[in-house]
């Protein structure tokens, strides 16, 4: 067992071998050389990628090839969250569909680096996470990216989950009610301060559930910076971060996309730049109209789903705030997420107020 990896997983300190927090490079390198069909051809270099606010993501390089490793966050891992097997299974299932995903290579339990993890091929393209990257896009590229993002989402929601072996991924019946109970439980497990309006938002959502949509594969955190893209051609090359994927109501994905596109406009999010804050990018009405054209779904209840999206993200940010208070996060900007929670709650209430 890699004890150095276990130490990093528990307290967030760098392993004694000098590697990044959360894993032991020598233990990982030895495992990859014994397990990968095409193992590293040179010394393994590991870099913790920026932007991870949940599962930790590392770039692996050997001077010839590149891979990506994903593992759960450091400490306070809530039940049902950060599921490595689920992410890996999604990549395997979608390999031969028209939904672009990286190729999965291997997965392992906690005995190697102190936490379960998986390795996938590096996806060419760019993750548009920073404002300067969005500012650099010109012409028709912003509009093309909006259309491409929706096109891939519609393809995902059309995918036959039985045919790709995902019929047991989740239980679509009662999905929305279970989601509300799940996030209420996550909020209770991360309690460090009183947030009565967040609790009230959850209560309002539960008082009147919309008529559920036909079940589909749901990504769970669908947004522009959870994909690699071709910034010149405005194409989506691969969808990433499948840790919350399940079978459920596809409008939860659409609402998540809208929230991250311009629903948090003006809140100075440290997670990623907001396209709706950038001149030249269309607003989220383009996202909604494009999805309606591609799927012919009834979107009259979308305000409820937006209210739920704000509730879910506020709860997630509160959980990260809890971990940050305990020193169990890796990276910068975590202290700003807790500050955003009241504004997210306010916008969630406003969305519900618009639902007729």
Residue range 91-101, pLDDT digits in tens? 999 999 999 99
| Containing structural domain, residue 146 | 131-353
CATH number of the structural domain spanning residue 136: 3.90.1200.10
Sign of CA dihedral 339, 344, 349, 354: positive
Q: What's the confidence (pLDDT) of residue 236?
A: 97
| pLDDT value, residue 5 | 31
Asked whether 290 and 282 are in contact (CB, 8 A), the reply is no
State the Cα–Cα distance between residues 314 and 76, nearest whole angstrom: 17
Q: Do 188 and 70 have their domain in common?
A: no
Nearest to 125 by CA among 68, 63, 64, 53: 68
The pLDDT tens digits for 168-181 are: 999 999 999 999 99
Q: Residue 315 and residue 187: Cα distance in Å, rounded? A: 6
Residue 284 lies in a domain: yes
Alpha helices in 226-301 (DSSP H): 251-258, 284-295
* Rg of the chain (C-alpha set): 20
Weakly modelled stretches of the chain, pLDDT under 70: 1-18, 50-54, 75-82, 326-334, 356
Predicted confidence at residue 15, as pLDDT, reads 54
User: 192 with 270, same domain?
Assistant: yes
**Tally of structural domains, the chain:** 2
Evaluate whether residue 23 is within a structural domain. yes
What end-to-end distance do the CA atoms of the chain give, in Å?
57
Which of 121, 145, 173 lies at the terminal end of a domain, its last residue? 121
Check whether residue 135 and residue 47 sit in a common domain: no
Q: Tell whether 321 and 179 lie within a shared domain.
A: yes
Q: What CA–CA distance (Å, rounded) separates 223 from 338?
A: 21
> Domain check: are 322 and 174 in the same one?
yes
Q: Where are the alpha helices (DSSP H) in the chain?
A: 3-11, 25-35, 84-94, 131-135, 141-158, 175-189, 196-207, 251-258, 284-295, 302-325, 334-353
Q: Is position 183 within any domain? A: yes
Residues 295 and 161 in one domain: yes
pLDDT at 81: 47
Q: Final residue of a domain: which of 67, 100, 121?
A: 121
What pLDDT does residue 121 have? Answer: 96
pLDDT at position 17, please? Answer: 56
Residue listed under structure tokens 């028709």: 140
Backbone angles phi, psi at 67, to 5 degrees: -135, 170
DSSP 139: T
Asked if 162 and 251 sit in the same domain, the reply is: yes
Same domain, yes or no: 116 and 135: no
In a domain, 126, yes or no: no
Q: What is the pLDDT of residue 235?
A: 96
User: Domain check: are 186 and 212 in the same one?
Assistant: yes
Q: What is 9-69 written as a DSSP string?
A: HHH-PPPTTS--TT--HHHHHHHHHHH-SS--SS--EEEEPTT-SSSEEEEEE-SS-EEEE
- Whether 272 and 294 share a structural domain: yes
Answer whether 41's CB lies under 8 Å from 64's CB. Answer: yes
Q: Does residue 72 sit within a domain?
A: yes
Q: How far apart are the C-alpha atoms of 284 and 276, rounded to whole Å?
A: 8
Judge whether 319 and 353 are in contact, CB under 8 Å: no
Same-domain pairing of 111 and 147? no
Cα angle at 190 between 266 and 343, to 5 degrees? 20
Give the pTM. 0.88
From 121, 141, 166, give the residue that closes a domain: 121
Contacts of 144 (CB under 8 A, 6+ apart): 233, 234, 235
Taking the C-alpha atoms of residue 215 and residue 212, their distance in angstroms, rounded to an integer, is 8
Specify the pLDDT at position 169: 94
Query: What's 32's domain CATH number?
Result: 3.30.200.20
The pLDDT, as a whole number, for residue 263 is 96
Maximum CA pair distance of the chain? 61
Residues 96 and 158 in one domain: no
Asked whether residue 322 is domain-assigned, the answer is: yes
Structure-token match 């807790």, residue found: 338
- Per-residue pLDDT tens digits for 37-81: 888 999 999 999 853 456 889 999 999 999 999 998 775 444 444
């Amino acid at each position: 067992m890699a004890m150095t990896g276990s130490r990093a997983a528990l307290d967030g300190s760098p392993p004694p071998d000098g590697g990044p927090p959360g894993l032991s490079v020598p233990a990982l390198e030895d495992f990859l050389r014994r397990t990968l069909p095409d193992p590293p051809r040179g010394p393994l270099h590991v870099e913790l990628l920026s932007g991870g606010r949940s599962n930790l993501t590392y770039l692996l390089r050997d001077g010839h090839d590149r891979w990506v490793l994903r593992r759960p966050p450091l400490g306070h891992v809530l039940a049902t969250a950060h599921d490595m097997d689920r992410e890996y299974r999604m990549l395997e299932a979608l390999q031969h569909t028209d939904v672009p995903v990286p190729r999965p290579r291997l997965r392992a339990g906690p005995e190697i680096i102190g936490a379960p993890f998986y390795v996938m091929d590096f996806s060419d393209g760019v993750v548009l996470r920073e404002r300067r990257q969005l500012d650099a896009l010109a012409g028709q590229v912003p509009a093309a990216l909006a259309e491409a993002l929706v096109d891939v989402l519609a393809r995902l929601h059309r995918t036959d989950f039985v045919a790709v072996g995902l019929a047991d991924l989740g239980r679509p019946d009662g999905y929305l009610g279970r989601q509300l109970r799940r996030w209420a439980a996550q909020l209770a497990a991360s309690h460090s301060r009183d947030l009565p309006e967040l609790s009230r938002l959850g209560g309002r959502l539960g008082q009147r559930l919309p008529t559920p949509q036909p079940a589909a594969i749901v990504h769970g955190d669908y947004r522009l910076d959870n994909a690699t893209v071709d910034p010149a051609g405005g194409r989506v090359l691969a969808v990433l971060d499948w840790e919350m994927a399940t079978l459920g109501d596809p409008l939860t994905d659409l609402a998540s996309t809208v929230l991250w596109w311009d629903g948090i406009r003006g809140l100075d999010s440290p997670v990623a730049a907001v396209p709706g804050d950038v001149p030249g990018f269309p607003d989220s009405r383009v996202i909604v109209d494009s999805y309606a054209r591609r799927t012919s779904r009834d979107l009259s209840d979308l305000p409820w789903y937006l209210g739920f999206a704000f509730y879910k993200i506020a709860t997630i940010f509160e959980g990260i705030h809890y971990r940050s208070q305990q020193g169990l996060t890796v990276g910068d900007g975590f202290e700003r997420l807790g500050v955003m929670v009241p504004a997210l709650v306010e916008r969630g209430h406003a969305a519900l107020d618009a639902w007729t």
